[in-house]
Chains A and B, each alone.
Chain A
Amino acid sequence: MSQTLTQDVKRRLYYGMLLVRRTEERIQANYHLREMRSPPHLYMGHEAAAAGVCATLRPDDMVFPYYRSHGWYLAKGGDLDAMLGELFGRVTGCSRGWGGSMHLIDLGAGVYGTSAIVGGTVSHAAGIALTFHMTRRDSVAAVSFGDGATEEGVFHETLNFAALRNLPMVFVCENNLYATNTHIQYRQAQTEIWRHAERFGIPGRRLDGNDVVAVWQAAAEAVARARSGAGPSLLELETYRYFEHCGINEDLDLGYRTREELQAWRARDPLAMGRRLVSDAEAREMEAEIAARIDRAFERARSAPWPVADFQEAAR
């Protein structure tokens, strides 16, 4: 069962990317006010990955973002007010102020909680896929992670188990070349991450992670395969992070990557590449609607109450 690239899907793809980009730009612009005291791992540059995959999913499908969590949370339909509430540490936050930027969750929208530990939720996704299987539901679990997570044992452990049991999963690696500030060539003996799929006998593909339509197409195939009971797939999306690993600034001064490299990737910006998906009028309309949503989310977060400590007894 393949999905069709309708006008509606095109709008959804572009809207998803735009919502993430504009929200993070606003976080960036307001961060110096010291209201959001939570470490942001900005997603900018990766938007096509989350928007492309999430547009193939149903509300009952579950996504498993990692600590660079804003993109998948918003693209899957996570509540914007609750996300900002969480970054502001307010009780209205999606984790009631206990999690912060690295621990977003919106179970109603199909966004599972996110972990600050690299590879932490890869196996959780397999657990939920097991639940889907055991409770005879045809939902799919899509887990995203960076290139660094594929160096963790749990990635290979989970890939093996998911393939062994034909679990309804899609593994989405967002390969942005760097684990914090270390290039993949210093970390991996062979850097074609998609090839790990071959070892477990499941489909693996590497593709341009900045081309939202290409991502959408590949994800649609993988999701259809998972939903049909045929088992998991591994997608390696080549993409790039614009800002520092954690924080709101550029980090070219560190010297681990070059301005030329950054500019080359910015020249292939996923939003610019996807801009043709909607008309000028539609784009303007989306910009206005998103700006209003973000204004409102910031206002609500600023005026929301703080959480109150409800610690249990110190020692039990």
Chain B
Amino acid sequence: MRTIHGTAAAALVALAAGAVLGGCAAVKASDRGYLADPIMERQDHFSKQSLEQKFFSSREGSIGGAAGIGGGCGCAK
């Protein structure tokens, strides 16, 4: 339990640190062309990743840590 709570706390600290760092980064919108390239996989509304995650969640004991919704199975449990 201690490990889990420690990890949760570390994750929250990292999120907060990232938010603070955000104030330091100053990349202009006009300089973000590379970041919008499709191969950066930034636009994952319904990407293949969701089906891959569905497979992993049906075969492995840990899920979560990635955005997305779901439930049920539809897999060979």
Real binding pair: no
Interface residues of A (CB under 8 A from B): none
B residues in contact (CB < 8 Å) with A: none
